[in-house]
Amino acid sequence: MKVLVAGLNHKSADVEVREKLAFTGEKLEQGLEALLALPQVKEAMIISTCNRVEIYMGVDEPGEATRQVKHFISSFHSIPEGLLDKALYFHTDSSAVRHIFRVASSLDSMVVGEPQILGQVKDSFQLALNKKTTGALMNKLMKKAISVAKRVRTETRVAENAVSISFAAVELARKIFNDLVDKSVLLLGAGEMAELAARHLMNNGVKEIVVANRTYERGCELAKDFKGRAVPFSGFKDEMVRSDIVLCSTGAPNYVVFKQDLHNIMKERKQRPVFLIDISVPRNIDPKINGLENVYLYDVDDLQGVVDSNRNERNKEAQKAEDIIGGEVEVFERWVASLQSIPTVVALRQKAQRISEAELERLFNRVDLDEKQQGAVRQMAASIVNKLIHSPTAALKEDVEERDQVVAMIRKLYDLNGD
Amino acid sequence: MGSITFDISLAFYFCAMLFSILDLSRSTKTFPKLMLIAAAIGFGFHTVFIFYKGFSMGHVPFVNPREATSFFAWCIFLLFFILEYRYKLRLLGSFITPMAFLLMFVSFILPADDRPLPPVLRSEWLGVHTVFAFLANAAFAMAAGVGVMYLVQEHYVKSKKLGGLFSRLPSLHVLDEINYRLVTVGFPLFTVAIISGSIWADNAWGSYISWDPRQIWALVTWLIFGIVLHARLQRGWRGRRAAALSILGFLTIIGAFAGLALLQKGQHVFL
């Protein structure tokens, strides 16, 4: 049996195509049933997320299976086969194994290293297990894929760095304050990006979010959204004394916060550190403020710089991950190959036993032996058979690169192909 | 038995230092582990050595520069293990083990000096004074090490270049907190050392203070760390200033230690 992957992802297909081919809700179970009804498909599972739709299968003959699966996708989703050609990709054997390992390890994701995909892979596998649509090959493969993904996570830092501006802001806040639980956030103005960053901070458990907006009503709305409170814009400097993180995007054409303001505020704060994030363009916070002690000011470009360098770091780590996966693919392939030599071992043993049985029968028909003598002869025959097939069996089980050739040769020498 | 345990611990401390430096250059999970193991073995042998020395001489075994530097290193490792246990601060090892190894090495090359202790210094105050002084100094040494870590991390955040050790160093808050704790632990220990020292001086020489250079340095150090604490509580001198001041304070200690021990002047002849 061989591994076959058929699928499409964010790189191969636009969202319009992806949503048409998605296996959502009931379609997923129906799809699994329909797949197993195909003559070539012995085992199957389906992963369907917003960025990818993939079918993992154990099949007898990949070429024929590919044709059948393509036909299945087209008829199941009622899309002409011609339209699928560009979107679909197929992988077999080691390239299929590698693909599955890369997907589970989040190397094939839109945002490399994002953590959700492993959970989605696990869920899809669990469903297949419940429905009993997978067998020895897929079970081993998916368990391996999950353990490879964990290895990649612990041995590389591919998932460690924030690659969006608002995540970078949270990461920095953590490196300044350690714990955000007792920190207050002041939202100065209500720009979209500041709102997003505030939402991330809220998800990371900050104590409260205070909104100071020029239009007080809008500020109140936003505050309600964040379960925080709104203050009049004119009072924001008093509020800054209490705030540890300030997100600023007022849309004002010039500076709103000056160095002298912050100097006074810091005195009142007894120099407790403050993290200012200026997401406005043009900037609203005087950049000289970063020179003050215990004040950390980041503007949009600074955050973008952090994101860019994180992305570089991630790509470097991704290379390490690819190396890990390369090694694991080899190990798995060897296991699959050992699986393939098992039928030959069985055939060899059966053939030897058949010959021995036949010869014994002939002997017992010709010569009259009592039961004890028959037993002794049987034992001798069995022992000759075992000794003769011992070394070819050992050769078949041996973990060597040219095992395919060994299998072929033994099949030829013992004439096992006709059986 | 005595010197062989010392040599073994010196060798293990050397390995610990190597691992901690390797850990700085490339981050893996193995190096910090190896560093901790090597430091722990070295520390074990070192402890045996100190107790053996103490029992065989009949008084605390840190009465000359050779013994003092060795005990200083021991105190530093002791605090390092406590901090590592409490805060999982393995990276601190990279800042601490070179310093501790250097002290051990100085102890190693200094000439052996097993002259009996002059009768005037034989007093129970010897143990109190020296143990408190060294523990305090070790706390200040750690505060300085953590202070350096703070300055490095703050530099990353301020300059907006988040490479290097940024992701591995703890947050500024944690570093500042540990620095503060170490100073609050070190300062009372140091105060006890000074008080017990002056009582001892009064017993031995008949006056609490003789304005010996070593004593003046001790007061200067005490004053600096007093300022560190006072300024933090009263004026919010935290973060960079606190880190820089604790480094300055520790340099004062080192200066006193090295300079005056080499000069060997004054009544405080041994250290």
- Residue B45 domain-assigned (yes or no): yes
Q: What is the pLDDT of residues A191-245, one digit of tens each?
A: 777 788 888 888 888 989 999 988 888 888 888 888 888 899 888 888 899 999 9
Strands A184-188 and A41-48: unpaired
- How confident is the model over B255-259, as a mean pLDDT? 75
Mean pLDDT, rounded, for B26-30: 73
Asked if residue B166 and residue B102 are part of one domain, the reply reads: no
Q: Is B152 on the interface with A (CB under 8 A)?
A: no
Q: Which two tokens stand for residue B193?
A: 């050392």
Q: Is the confidence at residue B120, as pLDDT, over 80?
A: no
Structure tokens at B8: 């073994």
Q: Provide the domain limits for residue B270.
A: 122-271
CB contact under 8 A, A177 and B173: yes
Q: Average pLDDT, stretch A92-108?
A: 92
A175 to B239: CB separation less than 8 angstroms, yes or no: no
Cβ–Cβ gap B171/A272 under 8 Å: no
User: Does residue B126 share a domain with residue B63?
Assistant: no
A124 and A252 together in one domain: no
- Which of B109, B140, B166 is at the close of a domain? B109
Is residue A131 a part of any domain in this protein? yes
Instruction: Give the nearest chain B residue to A289 (CA atoms).
Output: B158
Q: Do A269 and B236 touch (CB under 8 A)?
A: yes
Instruction: Tally the domains of chain A.
Output: 3
Per-residue confidence (pLDDT) for residue B43, from 0 to 100: 93
Residue B135 lies in a domain: yes
Asked whether residue A84 is assigned to any structural domain, the reply reads yes
Percent of chain A with pLDDT over 70: 98
Catalytic residue status for A50? yes
- Most B CBs within 10 Å: which of A241, A294, A297, as the mutation test of the B interface? A294
- Cα B229 to chain centroid distance, Å, stands at 19
φ and ψ of A29, to 5 deg = -70, -40
Same domain, B229 and B156: yes
Query: Does residue A13 fall inside a structural domain?
Result: yes
A214 with A273: CB under 8 angstroms? no
Of B88, B92, B90, nearest in space to B143 by CA = B92
Q: Is residue A418 part of a domain?
A: no
Instruction: Give yes or no: residues A57 and A122 share one domain.
Output: yes
Predicted pLDDT of residue A116: 83
What secondary structure, in 3-state letters, does B127-139 show?
A: HHHHHHHHHHHHH
- Answer yes or no: do B137 and B266 share one domain: yes
State whether A42 and A146 are in the same domain: yes
User: Do the chains contact at B171 and A178, CB–CB below 8 Å?
Assistant: yes
The DSSP letter of residue A60 is S
Question: Is residue B93 located within the same domain as residue B176?
Answer: no
Do B63 and B136 lie in one domain? The reply is no
Residue A157 β-bridge partners: none
Tell me: do A292 and A361 sit in the same domain. no
Residues B236 and B102 in one domain: no
**End-to-end C-alpha distance for chain B, whole angstroms:** 26
- In tens, the pLDDT along A256-298 reads 889 999 999 998 888 899 999 988 878 889 999 999 989 999 9
Asked if B238 lies within 8 A of A272 by C-beta distance, the reply is yes
Q: Which residue of B has its CA nearest to A291?
A: B158
Chain A residues within an 8 Å CB radius of B157: 172, 175-176, 296
Interface of A with B in 142-171 (CB under 8 A): 157, 160-161
In a domain, B44, yes or no: yes
Q: Is the pLDDT of residue B176 over 50?
A: yes
Residue A360 sits in the same domain as residue A264: no
* Domain shared by A154 and A54, yes or no: yes
Q: Is residue A248 part of a domain?
A: yes
Contact B171 A290 (CB under 8 A): no
- pLDDT of residue A410 exceeding 90, the answer is no
Same domain, B199 and B104: no
Q: Note the pLDDT of residue B37.
A: 92
Task: Kindly state whether B237 is in contact with chain A, defined as any CB-CB distance less than 8 angstroms.
Answer: yes
pLDDT at residue A304, rounded to an integer = 85
- β-bridge mates for residue A185, sequence order: A209, A245
Q: What is the pLDDT of residue A115?
A: 79
- As for how many domains chain B has, the answer is 2
Picking from B55, B78, B109, the residue at the C-terminal end of a domain is B109
> A269 to chain B: which residues are within 8 Å by CB?
236
Given the residues A11, A19, A30, A50, the one annotated as active site: A50
> Are A245 and A224 a contacting pair, CB within 8 Å?
no
Over residues A64-81, the mean pLDDT reads 91
User: Distance between CA atoms of B211 and B89, rounded to whole angstroms?
Assistant: 40
Distance from C-alpha of A107 to C-alpha of A109, rounded to nearest angstrom: 6
ipTM: 0.81
Residues B127-147: pLDDT tens digits? 788 889 889 989 999 999 999
CATH assignment of the domain containing A237: 3.40.50.720
- Residue of chain A nearest B239, judged by CA positions: A294
State the residue range of the domain holding A175.
Answer: 165-304
Same domain? For A123 and A219 the reply is no
Instruction: Decide if B73 is inside a domain.
Output: no
The verdict on B128 and B63 lying in the same domain is no
Q: Is the pLDDT of residue A380 over 70?
A: yes
Confidence of residue A161 (pLDDT cuts 50, 70, 90): low
A180 touches chain B (CB under 8 A): no
Domain boundary, last residue among A96, A125, A160: A160
Confidence (pLDDT) at B263? 66
Residues B135, B214: one domain? yes
Which domain-ending residue is among A160, A187, A219?
A: A160
Q: Does B245 touch chain A (CB under 8 A)?
A: no
Q: Is residue B83 part of a domain?
A: no
Q: Which residues pair with A295 in a beta bridge?
A: A274
Which residues in chain B touch residue A298, judged by CB atoms under 8 angstroms apart? Answer: 160
What the block records as the tokens of A8 is 């499409």
Same domain, A74 and A17: yes
Give chain B positions within 8 Å (CB) of A241: none
Q: Are B229 and B179 in contact (CB under 8 A)?
A: no
pLDDT category of residue B271 using cuts at 50, 70 and 90: very low
Residues B196/B172, Cβ–Cβ less than 8 Å: no
Name the residue type at position B32.
Answer: P
Residue scoring higher pLDDT (B161 or A362):
A362
pLDDT grade for A336, boundaries at 50, 70 and 90: confident
| Least confident among A76-80, A158-162, A377-381, B240-244 | A158-162
User: What's the token pair of residue B56?
Assistant: 């065989």
Q: Are residues A182 and A289 in the same domain?
A: yes
| Band of residue B264 on the pLDDT scale cut at 50, 70, 90 | low
Q: What's the pLDDT band for B268 if we cut at 50, 70, 90?
A: low
Please report residues of B whose CB lies closer than 8 A to that of A305: 160
- B231 contact A CB<8A: no
What pLDDT band is residue A104 in, cutting at 50, 70 and 90?
Answer: very high
Do A267 and A383 sit in the same domain of this protein? no
Q: C-alpha angle with apex A34: A33 to A36, nearest 5 degrees? A: 65
CATH number of the domain that residue A46 is part of:
3.30.460.30
**How close is the nearest chain A Cα to the Cα of B240, in Å?**
8
Q: Are residues A83 and A29 in the same domain?
A: yes
Residue A65 within a domain: yes
Which of A160, A185, A209 delimits the end of a domain?
A160
d(CA A118, CA A124): 10
| Structural domain contains residue A374 | yes
Q: What is the mean pLDDT of residues B28-53?
A: 88
Note whether residue B80 is domain-resident: no
A176 shares its domain with A128? no
Helices (H), ranges, chain B: 2-25, 30-57, 65-87, 92-109, 124-159, 172-205, 213-235, 239-255, 261-263
Q: Is the pLDDT of residue B119 over 80?
A: no
Which of A153-162, A308-317, B192-201, B257-266 has the least mean pLDDT?
B257-266
Same domain, B130 and B229: yes
User: Are A271 and B238 a contacting pair at CB < 8 A?
Assistant: yes
B interface test, pick of A155, A157, A175, A289 with most B CB neighbours within 10 Å: A175
- Which among A178, A294, A306 is the nearest to B162, CB-wise? A306
Q: Do B158 and B240 share a domain, yes or no?
A: yes
Q: How far apart are CA A104 and CA A115, in angstroms?
A: 10
On the question of pLDDT at A53 being above 50, the answer is yes
